[in-house]
């Protein structure tokens, strides 16, 4: 059902894009707009992962520089039937993580130093499994496409203020229609983009819990990350809010409601869904399971941290 809903939303986003192009320049304008969007998507397809990793100052690690993290990602990738993704660490106090890449063969998982310091190994396993689920579901490419189309709609709507007018029938939207289009089209695109993001988060929670085998590990992690994210600002994310949908928990301040204007479902709803899944699977409580321990991740934490 989540895939069908995603397909419907993506089709709606594409239809909105084509509609804006048609209002501006008729069928010819729609075709030109489509070609521009295709070129933009092609660029994003090849470069979006490098751009976002660079934006957040992420540095790549391996089994020599971060052996515990690397081995955990490798173990979970094996369970998920995925190639080993590249592993990155962001020097950021807010606990959070995201995955990127155009396909499973060219994927990357990035975690913050705050995440490694504040979560137990089991909770970190739940987070990484969630990100691997995004890779396995090809969500990283999907969200790049939706963000690009949404951006193109905003660009076209602003062009409509200056170049409005249907070339086929000489009846353009007019000044009032152009203003309405400039406001409503980007808003509609944003709502559809957010709806797609929320749909994919639920799907990644479910698959990620199955990959690590313990839904409550992820549920516990989500609770900790959400609490910390509201207290610890992510300045880079605040400067680039268009990337907020990539993170496992919304990194921006002031987003706690599961409504049309959030990029993520409410954490309470996600945890409730994971609790239901745990009951179905007969899973053990959080912080118990079969992920082997390999030693500390980094600096000590005041609470129960990465050592367990």
Residues 6+ apart with CB under 8 A from 185: 16, 20, 153, 154, 156, 157
Give the C-alpha separation, 73 to 22, whole Å. Answer: 47
Residues 6+ apart with CB under 8 A from 97: 109, 110, 111, 112, 115, 127, 128, 130, 131, 247, 248
Candidates 122, 131, 201, 268; catalytic one: 131
- 51: tokens are 């751009």
| Residue whose entry in the numeric block shows the structure tokens 């745990």 | 278
Per-residue burial over 171-197, b = 16 or more CB atoms within 10 Å of its CB, e = otherwise: ebbeeeebeebbeebbebbbbbbbbbb
| Residue whose entry in the numeric block shows the structure tokens 């369970």 | 79
Are the C-beta atoms of residues 250 and 233 closer than 8 Å to each other?
no
Per-residue burial over 274-293, b = 16 or more CB atoms within 10 Å of its CB, e = otherwise: beebbeeeebbebeebebee
Residues 6+ apart with CB under 8 A from 223: 267, 271
131 is catalytic: yes
Catalytic residues: 131
């Amino acid at each position: 059902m989540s895939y069908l809903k995603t397909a419907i939303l993506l089709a709606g986003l594409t239809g909105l894009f084509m509609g804006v192009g048609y209002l501006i320049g008729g069928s010819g304008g729609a075709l030109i707009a489509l070609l521009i969007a295709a070129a933009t998507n092609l660029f994003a397809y090849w470069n979006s992962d490098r751009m976002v990793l660079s934006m957040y100052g992420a540095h790549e690690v391996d089994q020599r520089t971060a052996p515990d993290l690397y081995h955990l990602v490798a173990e979970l990738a094996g369970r998920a039937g995925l190639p080993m993704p590249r592993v990155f660490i962001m020097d950021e106090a807010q606990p959070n993580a995201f995955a990127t890449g155009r396909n499973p063969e060219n994927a990357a998982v990035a975690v913050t130093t705050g995440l490694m310091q504040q979560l137990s190994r089991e909770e970190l396993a739940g987070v990484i499994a969630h990100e691997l689920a995004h890779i396995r579901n090809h969500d990283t490419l999907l969200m790049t496409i939706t963000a690009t189309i949404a951006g193109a709609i905003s660009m076209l709507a602003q062009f409509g203020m200056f170049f409005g007018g249907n070339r086929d029938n000489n009846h353009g939207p007019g000044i009032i229609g152009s203003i309405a289009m400039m406001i409503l089209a980007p808003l509609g695109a944003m709502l559809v983009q957010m709806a797609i993001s929320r749909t994919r988060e639920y799907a990644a929670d479910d698959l990620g819990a199955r990959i690590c085998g313990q839904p409550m590990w992820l549920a516990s992690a989500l609770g900790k990350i959400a609490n910390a994210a509201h207290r610890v600002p992510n300045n880079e994310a605040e400067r680039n809010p268009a990337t907020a949908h990539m993170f496992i928990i919304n990194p921006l301040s002031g987003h706690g409601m599961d409504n049309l204007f959030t990029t993520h479902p409410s954490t309470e709803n996600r945890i409730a869904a994971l609790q239901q899944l745990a009951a179905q699977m007969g899973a053990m409580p959080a912080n118990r399971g079969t992920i082997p321990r390999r030693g500390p991740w980094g600096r000590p934490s005041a609470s129960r941290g990465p050592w367990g």
